[in-house]
């Protein structure tokens, strides 16, 4: 997914892929550090608009490249209703 965000470097393989539990994943692609995950993690602590608070971001050192949001009902923790 991270590699797909940078199609002009399709020959570059992700390197130094690191999972950051509860935050996201980072990888170097073509010498460029990319982060996918919580907004505060993805932008490496830089201040950004609060519009991104509920988004999963793909970012590099220059800032967000893409934002992904889930419809409000997809993250529901409610148990499924019984069909009885």
Is pTM beyond 0.85? Reply is no
What is the model's pLDDT at position 29? 87
80 within domain boundaries: no
74 within domain boundaries: no
Q: What value does the mean pLDDT of the chain take?
A: 80
- Domain count within the chain: 1
8 within domain boundaries: yes
73 within domain boundaries: no
Digit-coded pLDDT (tens) for 20-34: 999 999 999 888 899
21 within domain boundaries: yes
Which residue range forms the structural domain that includes residue 40? 3-65
Digit-coded pLDDT (tens) for 4-19: 666 665 567 888 899 9
Query: Can you tell me the distance from the alpha carbon of 40 to that of 44, in angstroms, rounded to the nearest whole number?
Result: 6
């Amino acid at each position: 997914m991270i590699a797909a965000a940078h199609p002009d470097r399709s020959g570059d393989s992700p390197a130094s892929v690191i999972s950051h539990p509860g935050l996201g994943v980072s990888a170097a692609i073509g010498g460029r550090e990319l982060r996918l995950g919580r907004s505060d993690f993805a932008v490496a602590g830089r201040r950004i608009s609060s519009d991104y608070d509920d988004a999963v971001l793909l970012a590099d050192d220059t800032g967000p490249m893409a934002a992904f949001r889930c419809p409000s009902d997809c993250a529901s923790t409610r148990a499924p209703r019984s069909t009885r």
